[in-house]
Amino acid sequence: MNFIQVWHYGVNDSYGPHYDFYENNEDKPGGNRVATVLIYLSNVTHGGETIFPKSQTTKLKDESFSECASAGYAIKPVKGSAVFFFNLNLDSTLDNSSLHQSCKNIVHQNALTVQYTVSAMTIMRIC
């Protein structure tokens, strides 16, 4: 079963590179996490980006991005915006390009995010 999670990052907080899928999901009720939605609940003026270091997609970055965001695809936290990405490929194999991390918040504002992951069981019930 998956829950909505609220994350709070203070100044100098970050979340290192990780996947949202389970390497071995045999004992996980409902199956693996198919997709993730991150919803930004606050603005961060410098730092706090979500980055995908293995992404093949590139994006122009200006001086408002932190040094951490220099590698891979980076998304700045903007209140009310969301990021959706798949954790599994269409054949249900693990998608290694979904590796992501949160860069350190450099200013005194805190970033709040809501993370919602969807299991394969949930998607099958909806369809």
Domain locations in the chain as residue ranges = 5-126
Q: What percent of the chain has pLDDT over 90?
A: 19
Instruction: Report whether pLDDT(26) > 80.
Output: no
Task: List pLDDT tens digits, range 81-120.
Answer: 999 999 989 888 999 999 999 999 887 566 555 565 666 5
The helix (run of H) or strand (run of E) holding residue 112 is: strand 111-119
Instruction: Quickly list H helices, the chain.
Output: 120-126
Dihedral sign of CA atoms 41, 81, 105, 64 in order: negative
Task: List pLDDT tens digits, range 63-72.
Answer: 889 999 988 8
* Residues belonging to the chain: 127
pTM for the whole thing?
Answer: 0.81
| Superfamily of structural domain 5-126 | q2cbj1_9rhob like domain (2.60.120.620)
